[in-house]
Amino acid sequence: MSIWRRLRTLWRNLTHKRMVDDDLADEIRSYQELLEDEKAGAGAGPSLARREALLELGGAEQIKENVRDVRLGSNLEAIVAELRQSFRGLRRNPGLTILCTGMLALGMGASTVVFSIFYAALVQPLPFRDPQRLVELWEMRQSRGINRAAFSEANFWDVRTRNHSFEQLAAAHYDEANLTGSGPAEKVTAISVTANFFHALGVSPVLGRDFAPSDDHGGYDNRVLILGNRFWRSHLGGDPNILGKTLRLNDRACTVVGVLPPGEPWINDQVYEPFGYRPDADRGSWEFSVVGRLAPGVSVEAAHADLQRIAGVLGQTYPKDDKGIGISFGPSSAWVAGDTTKRALWVLLGAVTFLLLIACLNMANLLLARGTSRQREIAVRTALGAGRARLVRFVMMESILLSGFGATLGLALAYFTVHAIQSLEIAGIPRLADAGLNPWVLTFAALIAMLTGVLSGLAPALQAPASGIAAALRDTDRQTGSRGQGRLRSLLVTGEVALSFLLLVGAGLLIRSFTELMNVNSGFQTGHRLMFSVSMPGSYYEKGVGKQFLDRLFERLSAVPEVVAVGAISHRPVEGGNPGMGIDSVPPRRGPGDSAAPWASWRIVSPGYFRAIGLPLLRGRLFDNNDKPVWAEKGQPEAPRRVVISERLAKLIFPNEDPTGKQVTLWKGQSGGDAEVIGVVGDSRERGLASDPSLTVYLPYGRIALTSEIVVHTRGNPLALVPTVRSIVGALDPNLPVADVRSFEDVVNRGVAPQRFNAIVLGVFSGFALLLAMTGLYGVLSYSMSRRTSEIGLRVALGASGRNILSMTISQGMRPALLGTALGALGAFWLSRYMMALLFGIKPFDLLTYSAVAIILLATALLACYLPGRRAMHIDPAVALRIE
């Protein structure tokens, strides 16, 4: 039979119910008349014929009912009727309905929020063509323990011409530029890219043109610009006639030739300049990000082999810079979220699943309890001939309806929560701004709503028809709920407790890690420090303009009464870049086994920096104004080269000796050059609290070595100083933008924002979980006690003391709690290893966390048992026994 026919019939049955029924009534009446005719024809009188006809016909209504049952869509009608009935039932029990809806809304809302963040960060594809073939390439020097470094310019051009594996290879260099001409000067990110950069990514401008291959060879005078979409909107109001107009970048006029489509944050807020090919490109300085698109048909292995071959050639051809070079690449999916972020999001998704599961168990528990008091209704239905399937459907309907309510409320909750989280602008969660209730997230929400409904309705539904009908019909009040049901409910509570334990341990570990992180000795003094950056244009590097500016700035800032110390550094701690160099003592002190020179971060600092940031001098002296940069200025006599090193570095390259006055080789294995160590300062966590203290070499600032990150140590609130800072800088050079103004405390805290977010979210989840599990425990116990009222009354009458009753209750309640705790501990022990990457300063099996969680869980469980127990204690035997 065609599906069309069925649908048409179904449609007719449902919409023209009246007509179909009337037709049936007519048909039965005609049948009856024909019967009467037949009987009359056989000789019966009219009244007898009528009687016989009616007898043979049977009940007309029953026939109609039978016909209705076979009609298409009869199931649908029954379901609608049951839905209506369930709805009425829920309305009669507003307490239960609100409780269940609230619980599920919480669980599903939380799941939806986490999933929307998860989706945006890990699932949503990059907005580039065929992102699977898109990769990022990097250099390595594994002999020196460097597994990943940026490309040097010359190496990039060589790899680009020599490789046979990539359809496109493109490089980008991040830089900052001062945008002037409209209002106050502003620091913007200006990225120089090879002409094929956007082509390699698979992005074409929405306005104007892409860079042409000739742009790479236009030299440094080729001043054309492509704008990121958001930059175009925020700085130029989305001007549709922008093409051909000029922007002043670092005091040079650049012509806009194109505007990019909206995309990832790192390709949205910037302006792009052509890279420019230089035959004399530098090979020693690793500054370039390189992206590539694998050629069709080239496997990842083949590409790796190809790059290895090129690395071998480069190493032999340019031993000075490329000795031991390796080249590797990784998938573009890592551009959005790194491994730790991925792990953190998976952990959050797991946690929220547990929370939802607990909500399901809890609801199943509540519905089971209700099922007991509803046994009579179910028994009546069974007696009236409702089949098992129909009963299951009827009971299930309720939980599905509840999960529908929960999902609706949960979605509303999720909507507001996602917005709230977005407004917090938590650093470190990729694409947070993209998170939202998109179709994928909605599908997910619908799916979990359905699953939740079925899951939480399963236990009550299977329980329903199993209970004895006869017993149920005979007397419902004495039903104590079957033994099996009591066990089932205890089992559900055990599950809830175990899952809560898992969540609590997860949260506990993250919170412990976070406090460890916050208490770690950063080496810096974070309080009362203001940081800001002045972005100095190229002209500042000529004729000592920049040095002069900085010195005047230090002088004026120092003159402000609240200021204690002022200093500057080339790369801001925690947030700034982390350039490095090979360094070793002259002659090397370390054993012949350690062939490679240590790799240390280098920073240019002003003499005042150490005091301003609070790094203690341990040996020797700090820089003074006579110390000159380690790079010689053209046309100037070479000054003595002096450096200050950090304590760990000192211990590493000068074991057991005082390094002051000793010589070290800087940029060992690269450009080289010796310098004298004049002092040793304390270690600091340059790359954020979660990273180990850096090995650091400090180099003196000067006319050609400028420091753009200013640190001011003040007596009061550092942010109160901001207007003063702005006016001082503005007075010195109105075209110099002051950017990234923040307290150092804020800078450090932002560095641990993801850890803080994870700890808070997991903490909140586990709090909910604990609450739900305890409600479950309390519910089961108090229900069971109320059912046992007469039994307890009898016990009391026979001489049981209140204490006996209380301890009986508590031991009954604590059994699932203890079992759950034990199971949870086992599960946590097994699962917490997956959190290893997120932990700091503690082991996944942290005894303190585990015991604290167990104590919290059992103490709350005791409380949840005590309340029904106390009620049971005060049962009056006379009253209790009279109920019988």
- Write the DSSP string, 406-473: HHHHHHHHHHHHHHHHHHHT-TTSTTGGG-S--HHHHHHHHHHHHHHHHHHHHHHHHHGGGS-HHHHH
Nearer to another protein, 69 or 692 (CB): 69
Nearer to another protein, 41 or 635 (CB): 41
Q: How far is the CB of 385 from another protein (least distance, A)?
A: 16
Q: Choose the binding region for another protein from 4-12, 214-222, 312-320, 524-532 (rule: CB under 8 A).
A: 4-12
Q: Which long-range contacts (CB under 8 A, 24 or more apart) does 309-314 make?
A: 310/158, 310/159, 310/162, 310/163, 313/162, 314/155, 314/158, 314/159
Strand segments, DSSP code E, in 159-274 are 166-180, 186-193, 207-208, 224-227, 246-249, 252-259, 271-274
**Helices 339-373 & 94-118, crossing angle to 10 degrees?**
160
Structural tokens at position 705: 């070595």
Write the secondary structure of 472-527 as one string of H (helix), E (strand) and C (coil): HHHCCCCCCCCHHHHHHHHHHHHHHHHHHHHHHHHHHHHHHHHHHHHHCCCCCCCC
Q: Which residues of 96-131 are buried (b: 16+ CB within 10 A; e: fewer)?
A: bbebbbebbbbbbbbbbbbbbbbbbbbebebebeeb
Nearer to another protein, 58 or 734 (CB): 58
């940069």: which residue's tokens? 629
- Rg (alpha carbons) of the chain, rounded to whole number: 38
Within 13 Å and on the Cβ side, how many CA atoms surround 412?
Answer: 9
Of residues 151-180, those binding another protein (CB under 8 A): none
Of residues 787-846, those binding another protein (CB under 8 A): none
Nearer to another protein, 20 or 491 (CB): 20
Q: How far is the CB of 30 from another protein (least distance, A)?
A: 5
Nearer to another protein, 72 or 149 (CB): 72
Q: How far is the CB of 46 from another protein (least distance, A)?
A: 15
Q: Is 27 in the site for another protein (CB under 8 A)?
A: yes
Q: How far is the CB of 816 from another protein (least distance, A)?
A: 49
For residues 630 and 543, the answer to whether their CB atoms sit within 8 Å is no
Q: For residues 545 and 420, what is the distance between their CA atoms, to the nearest angstrom? A: 46
656 by DSSP, 3-state: which? coil
Of residues 31-90, those binding another protein (CB under 8 A): 31, 33-35, 37-38, 56-59, 62-63, 66-67, 69-72
Q: For residues 657 and 130, what is the distance between their CA atoms, to the nearest angstrom? A: 57
Nearer to another protein, 7 or 855 (CB): 7
Q: For residues 616 and 29, what is the distance between their CA atoms, to the nearest angstrom? A: 107
Q: How far is the CB of 452 from another protein (least distance, A)?
A: 36
Nearer to another protein, 67 or 560 (CB): 67
Q: How far is the CB of 8 from another protein (least distance, A)?
A: 10
CB neighbours (10 Å) of residue 744?
Answer: 26
Q: How far is the CB of 10 from another protein (least distance, A)?
A: 9
Q: Choose the binding region for another protein from 26-34, 107-115, 658-666, 793-801 (rule: CB under 8 A).
A: 26-34
Q: How far is the CB of 32 from another protein (least distance, A)?
A: 9
Nearer to another protein, 1 or 470 (CB): 1
Q: Is 657 in the site for another protein (CB under 8 A)?
A: no
Nearer to another protein, 37 or 425 (CB): 37
Q: For residues 173 and 623, what is the distance between their CA atoms, to the nearest angstrom? A: 32
Q: Is 15 in the site for another protein (CB under 8 A)?
A: no
Site string for another protein, 726-755 (x = CB under 8 A): ------------------------------
Structural tokens at position 603: 């920073």
Q: How far is the CB of 393 from another protein (least distance, A)?
A: 22
Q: How far is the CB of 19 from another protein (least distance, A)?
A: 13
Q: Choose the binding region for another protein from 3-11, 293-301, 583-591, 803-811 (rule: CB under 8 A).
A: 3-11
Q: How far is the CB of 23 from another protein (least distance, A)?
A: 8
Q: How far is the CB of 22 from another protein (least distance, A)?
A: 12
The most distant pair of C-alpha atoms in the chain lies apart, rounded to whole Å, by: 142
Write the secondary structure of 110-146 as one string of H (helix), E (strand) and C (coil): HHHHHHHHHHHHHHCCCCCCCHHHEEEEEEEEHHHCE
Burial, 554: exposed, middle or buried (Cβ in 10 Å; 0-12, 13-18, 19+)? buried
Q: How far is the CB of 45 from another protein (least distance, A)?
A: 18
Nearer to another protein, 72 or 140 (CB): 72
Write the secondary structure of 352-411 as one string of H (helix), E (strand) and C (coil): HHHHHHHHHHHHHHHHHHHHHHCHHHHHHHHHCCCCHHHHHHHHHHHHHHHHHHHHHHHH
Nearer to another protein, 43 or 799 (CB): 43
Q: For residues 599 and 583, what is the distance between their CA atoms, to the nearest angstrom? A: 6
Q: Choose the binding region for another protein from 24-32, 374-382, 770-778, 860-868 (rule: CB under 8 A).
A: 24-32
Q: How far is the CB of 60 from another protein (least distance, A)?
A: 8
Q: Is 21 in the site for another protein (CB under 8 A)?
A: no
Among 14, 25, 28, 295, interactor with another protein by CB under 8 A: 28
Nearer to another protein, 63 or 617 (CB): 63
Of residues 444-463, those binding another protein (CB under 8 A): none
For residues 56 and 31, the answer to whether their CB atoms sit within 8 Å is no
Nearer to another protein, 65 or 657 (CB): 65
338 by DSSP, 3-state: which? coil
Size of the site for another protein (CB under 8 A): 28
CA-based end-to-end distance of the chain: 62
Among 15, 19, 26, 577, interactor with another protein by CB under 8 A: 26
For residues 576 and 752, the answer to whether their CB atoms sit within 8 Å is no
User: If we measure between CA atoms, which residue out of 664, 674, 514, 502 comes closest to residue 588?
Assistant: 664
Nearer to another protein, 28 or 520 (CB): 28
Q: How far is the CB of 390 from another protein (least distance, A)?
A: 18
Q: Choose the binding region for another protein from 21-29, 416-424, 639-647, 680-688 (rule: CB under 8 A).
A: 21-29
Q: How far is the CB of 456 from another protein (least distance, A)?
A: 37
Nearer to another protein, 21 or 136 (CB): 21
Burial, 300: exposed, middle or buried (Cβ in 10 Å; 0-12, 13-18, 19+)? middle
Nearer to another protein, 36 or 273 (CB): 36
Q: Is 5 in the site for another protein (CB under 8 A)?
A: yes
Q: Choose the binding region for another protein from 30-38, 205-213, 468-476, 792-800 (rule: CB under 8 A).
A: 30-38
Structural tokens at position 849: 């966390």
Q: How far is the CB of 44 from another protein (least distance, A)?
A: 16
Nearer to another protein, 33 or 130 (CB): 33
Q: Choose the binding region for another protein from 1-9, 203-211, 329-337, 351-359 (rule: CB under 8 A).
A: 1-9
Q: Choose the binding region for another protein from 5-13, 118-126, 647-655, 746-754 (rule: CB under 8 A).
A: 5-13
Q: How far is the CB of 835 from another protein (least distance, A)?
A: 59
Burial, 553: exposed, middle or buried (Cβ in 10 Å; 0-12, 13-18, 19+)? buried
Nearer to another protein, 37 or 624 (CB): 37
Q: What length is written for the chain? A: 884
Structural tokens at position 386: 């409702």
For residues 588 and 663, the answer to whether their CB atoms sit within 8 Å is no
Identify the helix (H) or strand (E) that includes residue 306. Answer: helix 300-317
Q: Which residues bind another protein (CB under 8 A)?
A: 1-2, 5-6, 9, 24, 26-28, 30-31, 33-35, 37-38, 56-59, 62-63, 66-67, 69-72
